A = this chain, B = another copy of it.
Amino acid sequence: MKIMLGALALMLGVQGANAKPAAPASPRRLVIVDDDMIGLNGVPLLLLQSPDVEVLGITTTSGSVWRDTATAYALRTLEILGRTDVPVVPGATFPLLNSAEATKRWEGQYGRLVFKGPWTDYWPGDTIQEHPGSTDPTKVPDLPIGNPKTKPSAEIAAAFLVRMVKAHPGEITLFATGPMTNIAIAQSLDPSFAANVKEILYMGGSLAPHQVLEGPSAEQFAREFVNSPRREFNIRWDPEAAKIFAHAPWKKISMIPVDPSTGTQWTRAFLDGLKPAHTPLTDLFQTGLEPGYPMWDEIVAMAWLNPEIVTKDETLWVDFETSQTAAYGDTLSWTESYRPHLGEQAQRVILSVDRAKMEAAMARLYMRPVGKAAK
């Protein structure tokens, strides 16, 4: 789940592009990020700014935007950061089974969905959210952060995921912050895939979020929780892929549902706190980032980088509904004595985070110099 941050990264490139790659001083923790829109908020930037982390690649999927647009964002973001050494590997354009036509039919029966990614034809009712743009998967609009000059990898995301995990069995941490299509295809290609991933953390699903913070943005998001507490976009875009993911034999799964994000928010005060660093990144945060949005994907990165920020978690067995009825794409969860024993896995579900601690840890990363040489 990701929101365009417009002009955030407009001028970020200069310092990053001139930085010279350096060899790592010590073994780094290996990660791959599978995401539906790579901007300057979200997981990749935080991981790229972490000295002990090596990002092996970014795989892209449709979700908030079409796959090709997500790919362009990823390429351009890496150009800006001077990190074109990180491969961008395009993945699935369409969900496995879900479709625009099925979505329209479903909405006729069960009411309009709030956010439908590139299938969002209009926003019903009163809202402050931006329209996500074009619905043609073959067209990539001009990006507000500039269009990339670099090209994506010729490999396919799922093949890249399988190949990397085979090359580093038990060593790679996988971050999944978009729909699960690539992950599901990787697992379908290679049944040993999930078991050889060190751990997977994902932003997806929703249990019972409720408004925690004040403000117009928090109120807008809270309206959605009242009427559809179990629905979250990443899962709803490709419920069948989510179910394949949920049934795969991972060693360790951390779920970051919508719930903890209600206690987080991009604020002017947080951005002001970054000012003293005066890096190209922190300078851009001042003008480019629109306060108000929850820190959805940031929690995924920070709960792994700084586990002490997690204030409440629970082990639940999790699955996702795939019948095309009212709950299509909804999160199903159980404590152990209630679960159906149909292949669902135990997941660590993160329910709340310490906002102040998380912001402090994020600020430290954002305020570091950018570029590979800085690591």
Contacts and interface: CB of A to CB of B under 8 A. Distances in A.
Given A323-B323, A326-B330, A109 B227 contact: no
Which size class do A's interface residues fall under? Answer: 35 or more
Given A207-B226, A227-B335, A335-B227, A111 B330 contact: no
A342 interface: yes
A223 interface: yes
A155 interface: no
B124 A337 contact: yes
B110 A332 contact: yes
Judged by DSSP, the binding face of A is loop
A103 B321 CA distance: 18
Contact of A323 (B210, B227, B326, B339): B326
A111 B325 contact: no
Given A208-B208, A227-B316, A326 B332 contact: yes
A224 to B, nearest CB: 10
Interface in A318-351: 321, 323, 325-327, 330, 332-340, 342
B208 A340 contact: no
A225 interface: yes
Given A226-B207, A229-B229, A340-B109, A325 B321 contact: yes
20 contacts: A110-B332, A111-B332, A112-B334, A112-B340, A124-B338, A207-B226, A207-B227, A208-B208, A208-B209, A208-B229, A223-B335, A226-B314, A226-B333, A227-B334, A321-B325, A321-B326, A323-B325, A325-B327, A326-B327, A327-B327
Given A112-B334, A125-B335, A207-B227, 4 more contacts: A125-B336, A208-B208, A230-B230, A325-B326
Interface of A: 107-112, 114, 124-125, 207-210, 223, 225-227, 229-230, 314, 316, 321, 323, 325-327, 330, 332-340, 342
